[in-house]
Structure 1
């Protein structure tokens, strides 16, 4: 069903699957339908059971189809930042006829040239992002089509990810009867749509407080520079409430949503509410203050770990401050707590579309908005990637569909994103790639500093 005006975003989250059907009318995204179902087969943002995940996706899509009245075939899928890497790339091709204008085919050829990389067998190219084209030595060109020259070059970045993660996403979507027309890196889509022009330009930290994990991304100079993933999110807060209060997970989630505060200072000792406790026939009374202390303890842990990582690359000094989004960002007092812990100005992003006014819907809305705002040259470069890399049968039988999850909190990886349907490096670039592949926080400082200088 996907055409130049209609887009469907699919957010495969740890706690829920969200589907948004939207129509782009003169630059304005109008949401036509929404599906929201509980997730199965997903752990910390990664699909670990393809059969269960595909069933959850199908239920969410059915719901979106019913509400929008539109049959969904193609979807734009978000991919988490786990273990994604950014690497510089460059390519060059000769133009056969000096009098001929540079065409779409030439752009595709130079893109394929730039994607020639010696990748490890377990990794795959997710996306190619053009930074500039060079025609006969004239650089800074955004779209070379229609120009004349004898040599066309492209400089940009490629995003690579683990084949297993990418395969499991495609396989689950295909098994749900859908076509993953584009797999887009979630932090990039959010950063390019949630943040305003000034925040993208001068530099801002975007923190997505999800159910299964927390992702912090640095956007500067209109580019995604850095991403780190903490393996704890809203689910851990719910588990803490359940364990401390000796109540069921369902009851813990309900009181968190109805009475929870992220900052205990904001909560009242006098306001009490009932909660079911295992082993007791009658509910007990609990104060908002006590519940907030449980919640704040976990949020503090998450913020402290992220703060240390961001401080190591001087990201907390960026003038744009911090923007919070994701389901946990709906907790009252979250911005005040974050401002205190990060010592920075903080705001919470909430979509303003009717029916989506909750931060948990920021990702699926960002996916469709990002795709709709892609330039012609970005779409053209993306089509080159699809023809070269993504031509694979994901409905075929595979011996092992399982995914062995690494601890996301132990992996600090660069990340960026992938777009939608319709070379050799010099020594300096090899040095950058080498630094990206070596662990330790010091690498991030050097890598980040290089982008800013």
Structure 2
């Protein structure tokens, strides 16, 4: 599949919005523009003021447009892993004509069947990730199109999450005058970029140090298995510095960046001036004292995350831990992480020109993930548009089943809206889907359940 073209990744963070414009030609990525602006209307990685967030997004996109010398219309955006659930799913359909080859619509239909799920009213299906297809009992098939059979099954992974977060994201992007091509769960994209092949296979923990929250994700067997979001990040470190040293938040952030260390043992006893609120003369503070403030908050964050990872056995992963995000740029932070978690730790920093900072990892990962999607994955994801019309029902056993699942945690979601022509993807049978009546869709779902239990 030829995915050549221009892609735009939009990473909406708590303190900054980053936009990367990249051109993919024959599998090679060339970054042609980068925009980064201070975000607004955000709280702990989630949009809480749509108008302010839309204006901040527009500013960041305009910055990238000037540098890339192009006009941006379509973007790929990511959402954090808040309140996301990861579950196994299975779908099955009957092929109407045994002599007919399996086509695109059959893949969409079986993905739609796999995504039929009882959900609380505040949640929706985000994505369905096909793991394998089964044609007449023959499993391990990655792409069933072109094959002949009478029964098509799909085993996959279902991602579900809260409607509010995704709705606010979509609304803010549309209000900024942009077309949202795809929404991707952030840890899902990070795993494809910050980990090598062996780390994705044998199992690795990704620690994303954001400003508003810190996210731990477990990738194993090339799949996202678990995530946990700690609702504290670098922004809370800045607040601690501000309170303890009695200085403004702006000055506290500058002190953290210029003099701060994540590991107190690396800091020196040298002093620097600090502007104190209510005093005319600055006070002298040592690097060691500033680092003690920073280390105390970071250690608390990492200790809370460690408890969650220990509960699912993630600390025994052979791949160790890969750290990224803006907080990973703090000197000495890897020493503290290694001391708290007791596992091998390394930092991922993008190697592309103009992106050599861990804060750009997420926006770069969104692009890499989008361009690497197969046709089958795109077809399966397009089924979410249809499946979202199924009226969700509250499951009385929902809470208890959530506690029993090892793959259910705190996450976040996304529902795709992807114009095929912009990304040069295979045309999807939109017209046929649009012409299908509500009664036909409900009859199809009932028939699937009838065939399954027969």
TM tier relative to shorter chain: 0.7 to 0.9
1:413 and 2:410 aligned? yes
In structure 2, C-alpha distance between the alignment counterparts of 1:206 and 1:390, rounded to whole Å: 34
List, as ranges, runs of 4+ consecutive aligned residues in structure 1 with deviation greater than 4 Å: 414-420, 423-426
In structure 1, C-alpha distance between the alignment counterparts of 2:53 and 2:414, rounded to whole Å: 22
In structure 2, C-alpha distance between the alignment counterparts of 1:417 and 1:323, rounded to whole Å: 24
C-alpha displacement of 1:382:
1.6
Q: Is the 8 A contact 1:379 1:420 kept in 2?
A: no
Please list, as runs of the form range in 1=range in 2, the aligned pairs for 1:124-203 lying within 5 A after superposition: 124-203=124-203
DSSP 3-state at the match of 1:236: helix
Q: Is the 8 A contact 1:266 1:333 kept in 2?
A: yes
Partner of 2:11: 11
Q: Is the 8 A contact 2:350 2:358 kept in 1?
A: yes
Q: What stretches of structure 2 of length at least 5 have no aligned partner?
A: 391-407, 421-444, 450-454
Q: Is the 8 A contact 1:88 1:157 kept in 2?
A: yes
Partner of 2:54: 54
DSSP 3-state at the match of 2:40: coil
DSSP 3-state at the match of 2:292: helix
Partner of 1:218: 218
C-alpha displacement of 1:108:
1.2
In structure 1, C-alpha distance between the alignment counterparts of 2:120 and 2:185, rounded to whole Å: 20
Structure 1 residues 390 and 255: alpha-carbon distance in aligned structure 2, compared to 1, 3 A threshold: farther
Partner of 1:450: none
In structure 1, C-alpha distance between the alignment counterparts of 2:378 and 2:387, rounded to whole Å: 14
C-alpha displacement of 1:202:
0.5
Q: Is the 8 A contact 2:166 2:414 kept in 1?
A: no
CA-to-aligned-CA distance 1:382-425 (integer Å, 9 cap, x gap): 2222354399xxxxxxxxxxxxxxxxxxx943668776733799
Partner of 1:251: 251
Partner of 1:339: 338
Structure 1 residues 239 and 266: alpha-carbon distance in aligned structure 2, compared to 1, 3 A threshold: same
Tell me the number of residue pairs that the alignment of Structure 1 and Structure 2 aligns: 404
Partner of 1:395: none
Q: Is the 8 A contact 1:91 1:115 kept in 2?
A: yes
CA-to-aligned-CA distance 1:210-252 (integer Å, 9 cap, x gap): 0000000000000000000001000000001111111111111
Q: Is the 8 A contact 1:76 1:420 kept in 2?
A: no
Q: Is the 8 A contact 1:47 1:168 kept in 2?
A: yes
In structure 2, C-alpha distance between the alignment counterparts of 1:174 and 1:4, rounded to whole Å: 25
C-alpha displacement of 1:282:
2.5
Partner of 1:294: 293
CA RMSD of aligned residues (A): 2.0
CA-to-aligned-CA distance 1:162-219 (integer Å, 9 cap, x gap): 1111111111111111111111000110012110011011100001010000000000
Q: Is the 8 A contact 2:10 2:19 kept in 1?
A: yes
C-alpha displacement of 1:285:
2.1
Q: Is the 8 A contact 1:134 1:140 kept in 2?
A: yes
Q: Identify the range of structure 1 (374-383 vs 215-224) with the bigger mean alpha-carbon deviation.
A: 374-383
Q: Is the 8 A contact 2:16 2:38 kept in 1?
A: yes
Structure 1 residues 415 and 138: alpha-carbon distance in aligned structure 2, compared to 1, 3 A threshold: farther
Structure 1 residues 52 and 31: alpha-carbon distance in aligned structure 2, compared to 1, 3 A threshold: same
Partner of 2:68: 68
1:319 and 2:318 aligned? yes
Q: Is the 8 A contact 1:379 1:419 kept in 2?
A: no
Q: Is the 8 A contact 2:134 2:153 kept in 1?
A: yes
Q: Is the 8 A contact 1:86 1:415 kept in 2?
A: no
In structure 2, C-alpha distance between the alignment counterparts of 1:286 and 1:83, rounded to whole Å: 40
Partner of 2:280: 281
CA-to-aligned-CA distance 1:39-85 (integer Å, 9 cap, x gap): 11110011111111111111111111111111111111101111111
Partner of 2:328: 329
In structure 1, C-alpha distance between the alignment counterparts of 2:349 and 2:146, rounded to whole Å: 41
Q: Identify the range of structure 1 (136-145 vs 103-112) with the bigger mean alpha-carbon deviation.
A: 103-112
DSSP 3-state at the match of 1:357: coil
Partner of 1:451: none
In structure 2, C-alpha distance between the alignment counterparts of 1:341 and 1:388, rounded to whole Å: 43
Partner of 1:380: 379
DSSP 3-state at the match of 1:106: helix
C-alpha displacement of 1:280:
2.1
CA-to-aligned-CA distance 1:360-388 (integer Å, 9 cap, x gap): 11100000011011112111212222354
In structure 2, C-alpha distance between the alignment counterparts of 1:34 and 1:176, rounded to whole Å: 18
Partner of 2:348: 349
C-alpha displacement of 1:283:
2.2
DSSP 3-state at the match of 1:18: strand
Q: Identify the range of structure 1 (90-99 vs 233-242) with the bigger mean alpha-carbon deviation.
A: 90-99
Q: Is the 8 A contact 1:188 1:417 kept in 2?
A: no
Please list, as runs of the form range in 1=range in 2, the aligned pairs for 1:92-103 lying within 5 A after superposition: 92-103=92-103
In structure 1, C-alpha distance between the alignment counterparts of 2:28 and 2:271, rounded to whole Å: 44
Q: Is the 8 A contact 1:186 1:417 kept in 2?
A: no
TM-score (norm 1): 0.86
